[in-house]
Amino acid sequence: MDDGPRIDHPQRSWTQRLGAILWPSFFAAGVMTMVFFAFVDPLDLRDISFPDLDHEIGRGIGYTICFFMFWAATASSSLFTWILLRPASRFNGPLKD
């Protein structure tokens, strides 16, 4: 029973790999930041987290720090998904006829 030719997918460039990980996570972090800060004021969060830095951390820095934290979390999720979905044939040797 012949299932047709077995083709291994060509390896992607680093820019395609990074784009596939960073772009969806950037989009998700943007949405998460908007939803989170619809309910939480960054100044209240600063007062709870860093009460000694009263005038050094403003709203803009609070938004920025939170966005990059969300981006790091969603990028790690995309990275682990990419690692788990790589074809096994790349690690087990070439495909055999």
Q: What is the average per-residue pLDDT within 3-8?
A: 57
Q: Between 3 and 27, whose confidence is greater? A: 27
Q: Between 56 and 73, whose confidence is greater? A: 73
Q: What is the average per-residue pLDDT within 38-62?
A: 85
Distant-in-sequence, close-in-space partners of 67: CB < 8 Å, separation ≥ 6: 29, 30, 33
pTM of the model: 0.72
Q: Which two tokens stand for residue 77?
A: 């999720």
CA distance 78 to 70: 12
Q: Between 36 and 17, whose confidence is greater? A: 36
CA distance 58 to 49: 13
